[in-house]
Amino acid sequence: MPELLPFLEAAAAHPELKREVLEYLQGGSTSRLELKGYAPRVKVERVLTQLFHTHPELRIERIELAARSGCSDFVGEVIATEGGVTHRFAFTWCCAWRARELGWKDCFGFWDQTRAAREYGWRCFERWECLPA
């Protein structure tokens, strides 16, 4: 959560959403953050960090996240709502992609996705694309 905090604090998002994001990441429930399907909290945190990092100006009141979690990736769509305006983003977070980009291999010759996830955390977004609302 340390990587998320500066972006969350600087974001123009609704204070209640900010509070609920922190509660969710500490194991609590939330009404302003809706997850469709199963998503590990650490992967949700990475998407939220990217959202608040790339769009701190949005006065987000509610977030919907629909994604598929794999071993090395997290692929889906996030919808951020501010007032009556909807912002949609398609994303692919992939630590194996980041390892390939950096040329990092482990002792077995596989892409070192563990190192990439550890060292780059939320910064493993292969795709972050604004979609039409």
How does pLDDT run across 19-63, given as a tens digit for each residue?
A: 999 999 999 989 999 999 888 999 999 999 999 999 999 999 999
What's 11's DSSP letter?
S
- C-alpha distances in Å from residue 49, one per residue of 4, 45, 64, 85, 100: 5, 6, 14, 21, 23
- When pLDDT is cut at 50, 70 and 90, the band that residue 1 belongs to is low
Overall domain count for the chain: 1
How does pLDDT run across 91-130, given as a tens digit for each residue?
A: 999 999 999 999 999 999 999 999 999 999 999 999 999 9
What's 132's DSSP letter?
-
Burial of 125 (0-12, 13-18, 19+ CB in 10 A): buried
pLDDT at residue 82 is higher than 90: yes
Burial of 18 (0-12, 13-18, 19+ CB in 10 A): middle
State the pLDDT at residue 100. Answer: 97
Q: Range of 81's domain?
A: 4-131
